[in-house]
Structure 1
């Protein structure tokens, strides 16, 4: 039940067939598409880095104005005992 010879025969049949025609402008089209993809990726990376910087600045400004690390002020006074 070894299918290796069957697969090898199928590959040999595929290699013996006539090869399809390749378009003459394939290389320039592929180069243009690759350039577009690289530009899009570069723009996306710059946008994400800018978004990260803006988020850090906004968080820093928020933290410096609200002081979230300090305890909130008490709204009631403690009971007076021992007067």
Structure 2
């Protein structure tokens, strides 16, 4: 099967009318779709909450630890010229 034949077969498949969906499936599909949307919304909210909590924790740590300041020297310099 060459490229033109494959394209013709794909066009025939896409031009067909889709088969009718049984009406008794509609309530189940709506219920599952609503469940998936709720799960996605909850996941997104928890992700944003976790990101916000991590940001607040980092800001509090940075304000308390001052990582941008050079730590004090552990030893004293030698006294010369006394």
Q: TM-score, normalised by structure 2?
A: 0.71
- Aligned equivalent of 1:71: 70
- Aligned equivalent of 2:58: 59
Measured against aligned partners, the alpha-carbon deviations of 1:13-37 in whole angstroms (never above 9, x if no partner) come to: xx7xxxx885442111111111111
Structure-2 change in CA distance of 1:72 and 1:21 (3 Å): same
For structure 1, the 5+ residue unaligned runs are: none
Q: TM-score, normalised by structure 1?
A: 0.70
RMSD of the TM alignment (CA)?
2.9
> How many Å apart are 1:82 and its aligned residue?
2.9
- Aligned equivalent of 1:41: 40
SS in structure 2 of the partner of residue 47 of structure 1: helix
Structure-2 change in CA distance of 1:6 and 1:59 (3 Å): closer
Where in structure 1 do 4 or more consecutive aligned residues deviate above 3 Å? Answer: 1-9, 20-24
For structure 2, the 5+ residue unaligned runs are: none
> How many Å apart are 1:63 and its aligned residue?
1.0
2-side partners of 1:44 and 1:23: how far apart? 32
SS in structure 1 of the partner of residue 49 of structure 2: helix
SS in structure 1 of the partner of residue 72 of structure 2: coil
What is the count of residue pairs matched by the alignment? 78
